[in-house]
Amino acid sequence: MQNNLKLFISVQIDLEVDAHNSTEFIGLLISNSSSENQEDFIDAKIVQFSDIQTDEFVYLDYVINNSLFLNDTIYHGEGAGKLDGKVSVYEFSIPINQPLTDGYEEDALLEYGESYSINITYGKTPLYPEGIIKSEIVLINIFKPSEEEQLLIDVILLVLTIIVFSIVGILSGYYIYKLFKLKEKMERLRS
């Protein structure tokens, strides 16, 4: 999901209750483009649990330089995590279309109309990148605000069209039923 200022990402980890580690984390390694080359992932946003049972976590913002994770001077974005039964839920909000000032030069700049590869990583120990045990790369498209509105209009029109087709289908079924009744009536009158 996104609005004009932020990209929202939610990640859910569904494991057996005992399988959750008390210091597990989810990290978003953000590429500066749609490229999936390791050296293009320059930014990391991490939600790190210090104790998952008591929902104690920290949000971390790193700049990645030659696979070294270095703390950002100014943290941007927000993150939170919560264990809910078997599912641990992580939520991130990342600024989009920000100027290259105020420390944003340490972040991947997400611009409208562009696509970015995001490596969603999971780990059990607070070591980066050594603690990463599983990762999955996804491609995220950042829509322009107008495109997002257009997308909403398209969805509404699609729903309306489906409703119209459904009404025609239902009315056609009723009409066919009436035709059968008419045939029965005609046969009764004939005999």
Partner 1 sequence: MSKIPKVQTKDQKSKTRRRSEDKFAYRTVVISTVLSLIFFVVSLLFNIGIISIFADINLIFDIIDILIKVIAILLFFLFMMISIGNYKEMTGKPLGWKEFLLLFILSIGQTLLNYIVFIFTFIGLLLILVYLYLVQEI
Q: Which residues of the chain form contacts with partner 1 (CB under 8 A)? A: 154, 157-158, 160-162, 164-165, 167-169, 171-172, 175-176, 178-179, 182-183, 186, 190
Instruction: Compute the least distance from the CB of residue 152 to partner 1, in Å.
Output: 14
**CB nearer partner 1, residue 86 or residue 185:** 185
As measured in angstroms, the least distance from the Cβ of 160 to partner 1 is: 5
Contact 138, 11 (CB under 8 A): no
Q: How far apart are CA 137 and CA 37, in angstroms?
A: 11
Least CB distance to partner 1 at residue 154 (A): 8
Asked whether the beta carbons of 97 and 113 are under 8 A apart, the reply is no
Please identify, using beta-carbon distances, which residue of 137 and 164 lies nearer to partner 1: 164
Q: Pick from 109, 135, 104, 106: which is nearest to 38 by CA? A: 135
Q: What is the closest distance, in whole angstroms, from the C-beta atom of residue 65 to partner 1 in the complex? A: 42
Q: Residue 80 or 168: which CB sits closer to partner 1?
A: 168
With respect to partner 1, which residue has the nearer C-beta, 74 or 168? Answer: 168
CA 30 to chain centre: 13
CA pair distance 148, 3, nearest whole angstrom: 8
Residue number, 139 or 155, with CB nearest to partner 1: 155
Question: Which residues are CB-neighbours of 145 under 8 A, at least 6 positions away?
Answer: 4, 112
Q: Is 29 exposed, middle or buried (0-12, 13-18, 19+ CB in 10 A)?
A: buried
The least CB distance from residue 164 to partner 1, in Å, is: 3
